[in-house]
Amino acid sequence: MAALTTTQSAPTPDAPQRAPRRLGFSQALGRWDVKVSPYLYVSPFFVLFALTGLFPLAYTAVVSVYDWNLLGGQGTYVGMQNYADVLGQETFWKSLVNTLSIFLLSAVPQIVIAITLAALLDQNIRNATFWRMGVLVPYVVAPIAVSLIFGRLFADQYGLINDILGTFGLDQIGWHRDRFASHVAVAAMVNYRWTGYNALIFLAAMQAVPRDLYEAATIDGAGPWRQFFSVTVPQIRSTVIFVVLTASIGGLQIFDEARLFDAGGLGGADRQWMTTVLYLYDVAWGNQRDLGRAAAVAWVLFVLILLIGFGNFLLSRRIASSATRTPRVRRSVTRRLLAEARAAGNADTTASTTTVRRDS
Amino acid sequence: MRSSTRPTRRAAARTLQTTAGAAAVVLALTACGGSDGGGSDGGGAAEDGPITLTVATFNDFGYSDELLAQYTEEHPDVTVELIDAASAADARTNLTTKLAAGGEGLADVEAIEVDWISELAQYPDLFTDMTDPELDGRWMDWKVEQATTPDGKLIGYGTDIGPEAICYRQDLFEEAGLPSEPDEVAELLGGEDATWEDYFAAGADFVKGSDTAWYDSGVATYQGLVNQVENAYEESDGTPKPLAENAEIKDLYDTIVEQHDAGLSAGLVQWGEDWASGFQNDAFATMLCPAWMTGSIESNSGGVTGWNIADVFPGGGGNWGGSFLTVPASGAHIEAAKELAAWLTAPEQQTAAFETSGNFPSQIEAQESEQVQSFVNEFMNDAPVGQIFSNRAQAIEGNPFKGPNYFAIHQTVQQGIERVETTDEDPGTSWEKTLTAFDDLGL
The answer to whether B97 contacts chain A (CB < 8 Å) is: yes
A354 pLDDT more than 60: no
Q: Count the neighbouring beta carbons within 10 Å of the beta carbon of residue B102.
A: 18
Q: Answer yes or no: do B99 and A151 touch at CB < 8 A.
A: no
CA pair distance B109, B56, nearest whole angstrom = 6
pLDDT of residue A22: 59
Give Cα B238 to chain centroid, integer Å.
Answer: 21
Residue A10 covered by a domain: no
- This model of the complex carries an ipTM of 0.72
The answer to whether B139 contacts chain A (CB < 8 Å) is: no
Amino acid found at A51: L
Q: Answer yes or no: do B96 and A54 touch at CB < 8 A.
A: no
CA pair distance B269, A176, nearest whole angstrom = 11
Top mean pLDDT of A292-296, A342-346, B10-14 is at A292-296
CB B242 within 8 A of CB B405: no
Q: Of the ranges A141-145, A156-160, A356-360, B301-305, which one carries the lowest mean pLDDT score?
A: A356-360
The confidence band for A313, taking pLDDT boundaries of 50, 70 and 90, is confident
CA pair distance A158, A172, nearest whole angstrom = 10
High-pLDDT (> 90) share of chain A, %? 48
Q: Answer yes or no: do A262 and B15 touch at CB < 8 A.
A: no
User: Whole-structure pTM over 0.90, yes or no?
Assistant: no
Q: Domain limits at A189?
A: 88-324
Is A215 exposed, middle or buried, given 0-12, 13-18 or 19+ CB atoms closer than 10 A?
A: exposed
Which residues have C-beta within 8 Å of that of residue B11, sequence separation ≥ 6? A238, A241, A242
Residue A16 covered by a domain: no
- Choose among A89, A157, A298: nearest Cβ to B29: A298
CA pair distance B204, A274, nearest whole angstrom = 36
State which residue of chain A sits closest to B95, comparing Cα positions.
A285
- Choose among B12, B272, B423: nearest Cβ to A263: B272
Question: Average pLDDT, stretch A213-231?
Answer: 91
CB B320 within 8 A of CB B164: yes
The closest alpha carbon to B292, from B273, B272, B270, belongs to B270
The closest alpha carbon to A208, from A243, A245, A239, A229, belongs to A239
| Three-state DSSP class for residue B323 | strand
Residue A60 covered by a domain: no
Query: Which residue ranges form the domains of chain B, and what is each CATH number?
Result: 45-161+322-373 (3.40.190.10), 162-319+382-440 (3.40.190.10)
Q: Measure the CA dihedral A6/A12/A18/A23, to 10°.
A: 0
Give the β-pairing of B157-169 and B319-326: antiparallel
Residue A125 covered by a domain: yes
Q: Count the neighbouring beta carbons within 10 Å of the beta carbon of residue A228.
A: 17
A chain contacts of residue B24, beta-carbon cutoff 8 Å: 52-54, 56-57, 302
Give the β-pairing of B51-58 and B109-113: parallel
pLDDT of residue B48: 58
Give the β-pairing of B284-290 and B213-215: parallel
CB B267 within 8 A of CB B260: yes
Question: Average pLDDT, stretch A74-80?
Answer: 91
pLDDT in tens, A37-57: 999 999 999 999 999 999 999
A6 pLDDT more than 90: no
The confidence band for A331, taking pLDDT boundaries of 50, 70 and 90, is low
pLDDT of residue A318: 77
CA pair distance A249, B434, nearest whole angstrom = 32
Residue A78 covered by a domain: no
Q: What is the DSSP string of A275-287?
A: -HHHHHHHHHHSS
Q: What is the DSSP string of B194-240?
A: --HHHHHHHHHHHHHT-SSEEES-HHHHHHHHHTT-TTSSB-TTSPB
Q: In angstroms, what separates the C-alpha of A90 from chain B's closest C-alpha?
A: 8
Q: In angstroms, what separates the C-alpha of A359 from chain B's closest C-alpha?
A: 6
Quickly list H helices, B75-227. Answer: 88-100, 114-121, 141-146, 170-175, 182-188, 196-208, 218-226
pLDDT of residue A357: 44
Contacts 24+ apart (CB under 8 A), B427-433: B427/B253, B427/B254, B427/B257, B427/B261, B430/A270, B430/B257, B431/B250, B431/B253, B433/A270
* A257 or A325, which is more confident: A257
- Choose among A53, A287, A302: nearest Cβ to B441: A287
A chain contacts of residue B8, beta-carbon cutoff 8 Å: 237-238
φ/ψ bin of A254: left (φ > 0), alpha (ψ from -120 to 50), beta (otherwise):
beta
Number of helices and strands (H, E) in chain A?
Answer: 19, 2
Residue A280 covered by a domain: yes
Q: Answer yes or no: do A63 and B407 touch at CB < 8 A.
A: no
- Choose among B274, B281, B441: nearest Cβ to A156: B274
Q: In angstroms, what separates the C-alpha of B219 from chain A's closest C-alpha?
A: 11
The confidence band for A342, taking pLDDT boundaries of 50, 70 and 90, is confident
How many domains does the structure of chain A reveal? Answer: 1
Question: Average pLDDT, stretch A347-352?
Answer: 47
Q: Of the ranges A158-167, A348-357, B276-285, which one carries the lowest mean pLDDT score?
A: A348-357
Buried b (16+ CB within 10 A) or exposed e, A185-199: bbbbbbbbbbbbbbb
pLDDT in tens, A84-134: 999 999 999 999 999 999 999 999 999 999 999 999 998 888 888 899 889
The closest alpha carbon to B423, from A266, A278, A268, belongs to A268
Residue A34 covered by a domain: no
- Choose among B33, B408, B422: nearest Cβ to A73: B33
| Three-state DSSP class for residue B18 | helix
* A13 or B146, which is more confident: B146
Q: In angstroms, what separates the C-alpha of A29 from chain B's closest C-alpha?
A: 31
| Three-state DSSP class for residue B282 | coil
Q: In angstroms, what separates the C-alpha of A63 from chain B's closest C-alpha?
A: 8
Q: Answer yes or no: do A265 and B270 touch at CB < 8 A.
A: no
Q: What is the residue-level pLDDT of chain B in tens, covering all 443 positions? A: 333 333 344 444 444 444 444 444 444 443 333 333 333 333 344 455 789 999 999 988 889 999 999 999 999 999 999 998 878 888 988 898 898 888 888 999 999 999 888 888 888 889 999 998 888 889 988 899 889 888 889 999 999 999 999 999 999 999 999 999 999 999 999 988 899 999 999 999 999 989 999 999 999 999 999 999 999 999 988 899 999 999 999 999 999 999 999 999 999 988 888 999 999 999 999 999 999 899 889 989 988 999 999 999 999 889 998 999 999 999 999 999 999 999 999 999 999 999 888 899 999 999 999 999 999 999 999 999 999 999 999 888 878 888 888 989 999 999 999 999 988 899 999 999 999 999 988 87
Q: Count the neighbouring beta carbons within 10 Å of the beta carbon of residue A243.
A: 25
* pLDDT mean across residues, chain A: 84
| Three-state DSSP class for residue A190 | helix
The closest alpha carbon to A190, from A245, A252, A233, A125, belongs to A252
CA pair distance B169, B286, nearest whole angstrom = 6
Q: Count the neighbouring beta carbons within 10 Å of the beta carbon of residue A269.
A: 25
CATH number for A132: 1.10.3720.10
Distances (CA, A) of A70 to A159, B95, B147, B151: 37, 12, 22, 23
Residue A331 covered by a domain: no
Q: Answer yes or no: do B20 and A89 touch at CB < 8 A.
A: no
Q: Answer yes or no: do A57 and B418 touch at CB < 8 A.
A: no
- Choose among A59, A85, A285: nearest Cβ to B31: A59
pLDDT of residue A29: 87
